[in-house]
Amino acid sequence: CVCVCVRVCGCVLSSTEPREAPSEVKASSISSSEIKVTWSPPNPGPGRPRGYEVSYRKDSEQEESGKKTAGNETYMMLTGLEGNSVYLITVRGFNSIGQGPASTASTAKTRKDREYTTHTNQSCIDRGYCIYSLIKHEYSHR
């Protein structure tokens, strides 16, 4: 800790780690392998964050992954995730002194991987409606 003398010779902390967690953490599935995370920064005051760390893990696992973002960004795209899986996500601020508390966990489920069906029936090919049938099948499952 660094102190600065004031007139009454007291010490004032010039810097501290973030004291509050980010709020309004929201996670939403973008695809089968991506989740968008957004949050609101903590109230201004001592220990202002210089960046954020987003930690996430699959609901069924204990091992955590984390990604850091610099500056005042209040969103992050998590990529390379497994499809049809629930993820627990927290956000915490950090600065040169240390890390702040983690937010309340938010959850999001990645979308299912797309499943395509193909017609191998020769009569389908002869009649020319395979493409129409495949497109119709895809739209009915969105």
Q: Which two tokens stand for residue 133?
A: 């049938």
Domain range for 134 is: 117-142
Q: pLDDT, tens digit, for every residue of 31-86?
A: 999 999 999 999 888 888 999 999 999 998 888 887 888 677 999 999 999 999 99
Average pLDDT (21-29) is 96
Does one domain contain both 76 and 25? yes
CATH number at residue 24: 2.60.40.10
Share the mean pLDDT of the chain: 78
- 5 in a domain, yes or no? no
Q: For residues 92 and 54, what is the distance between their CA atoms, to the nearest angstrom?
A: 7
Q: Look at residue 4 in the predicted model and tell me its pLDDT.
A: 41
Distance CA 59, CA 140 (A): 29
State the average pLDDT over residues 84-92.
Answer: 95
Question: What's the pTM?
Answer: 0.69
pLDDT at residue 70 in the model: 64
